[in-house]
Amino acid sequence: MANIDVLDMAGQKVGEVELSDAVFGIEPNTVVMHQMVVNYLANNRQGTQSALTRAEVSGGGRKPWRQKGTGHARQGSTRAPQWTHGGVVFAPKPRSYKFTVNKKVKKLAMKSAFSSKLKDSQIIVLDKVALEEYKTKTVANMLKAVGADKKALIILSEVDKKVIGSAKNIPGVKTAQVNTINVYDIMNADKVVIVKDAVSKIEEVYA
């Protein structure tokens, strides 16, 4: 079990929390983490690119010149790929890039990501994040006070519209709940800021 300081919004230590080795103390598996990052990016691809093949381009029905005797190479259509305004060879068509990953692999990847961040001292635990109003400056000052003023992921125990709304205007800062976190966001952040209540929920889900 690893102990980590619990900070308040001003960056002052207010206690300690014990992190489970089953989630935060395993040997990171880079292979499954890479697999989950590829999965996340692939699932976000729109796959809407499209181009016309030679069969779909308008025109080109008449043979441009006779087969023999002109000195030109033989041509059957002005819409062949080598012609200007011709079709595209192996034209891309709308498709889905999505693929699924086994639950055990997902769980191992998530534990590996948390363990990797803790190993690199990139996890910060806050006792709470409480805002009385929508205020981006308050969240920005809080992140600066705890040393997470660059790319940061704030993990909340539940949806808090004021925190989410205040943080979304800060470049490089993302918010997530325990049930919406993913390996890509964890590894992409310089610091992972976890609210204390969310720590126990993470351990409950992934331990």
How many residues belong to the chain?
207
pLDDT, position 160: 87
If pLDDT is split at 50, 70 and 90, which confidence band does 2 have? Answer: confident
Q: Does domain 2-45+97-206 have CATH number 3.40.1370.10?
A: yes
Beta bridge partners of 102: none
Cα 16-9-18 angle, rounded to 5 deg = 15
Structural domain boundaries in the chain: 2-45+97-206, 47-96
* Residue 182: CB atoms within 10 Å: 19
pLDDT at 1 > cutoff 90: no
Gyration radius of the chain over CA positions: 27
pLDDT at 154 > cutoff 80: yes
pLDDT at 132 > cutoff 90: no
Does pTM surpass 0.85? no
